[in-house]
């Protein structure tokens, strides 16, 4: 399965915030949307990502306050992205190696979606179920002949 197939199934909603918003606004938006990260967009361009982990590590544990700290001050700006044509297995490997939970999907410098580790795991499980069922069918048909 490829990233584009996953996006076709899950949708390509992009939840974002601007770098000059406060971290409080970002956390509030994440809570409202029930997501763990937001893309940081500036002039329709991907500038970074802010996650619950950024909040924990760069605000709470540093003694900052979310209402006076700006997204730009704690966002991750060195992003790992994937293309719609990338394989889901590649995404899983990237997420594991880089210790990240969200991957922006970029095509021709445009963000067309975001996939999470949960999306990737679900896709892998679905693929494995299909493969297992195919093998079961093959085995049961092969022995009946």
- Domains in the chain: how many in total? 1
Under the banding of pLDDT at 50, 70 and 90, the label for residue 124 is confident
> Over pLDDT 70: what percentage of the chain?
97
Answer yes or no: is pLDDT of 144 > 60: no
Instruction: Give me the pLDDT at residue 138, please.
Output: 76
Range of the domain at 82: 3-144
The CATH number of residue 77's host domain is: 3.10.580.10
82 in the Ramachandran plot: left (φ > 0), alpha (ψ -120 to 50) or beta?
beta
CB 19 within 8 A of CB 40: yes
What is the pTM (predicted TM-score) of this model? 0.85
Q: Taking all residues of the chain, what is their mean pLDDT, rounded to a whole number?
A: 92
């Amino acid at each position: 399965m490829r990233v584009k197939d996953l996006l076709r199934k899950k949708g390509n909603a992009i939840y974002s915030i601007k770098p000059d918003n406060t971290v409080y606004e970002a956390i509030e938006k994440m809570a409202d949307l029930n997501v763990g990260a937001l893309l940081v967009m500036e002039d329709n361009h991907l500038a970074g990502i802010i996650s619950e982990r950024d909040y924990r590590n760069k605000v709470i544990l540093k003694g900052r306050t979310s209402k006076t700290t700006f997204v730009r001050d704690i966002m991750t700006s060195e992003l790992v992205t994937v293309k719609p044509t990338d394989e889901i297995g590649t995404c899983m490997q990237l997420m594991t190696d880089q210790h990240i939970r969200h991957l922006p999907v970029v095509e021709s410098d445009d963000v067309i979606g975001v996939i999470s580790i949960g999306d990737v795991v679900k896709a892998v499980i679905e693929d494995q179920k299909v493969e297992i069922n195919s093998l079961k069918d093959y085995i049961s048909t092969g022995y009946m002949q």
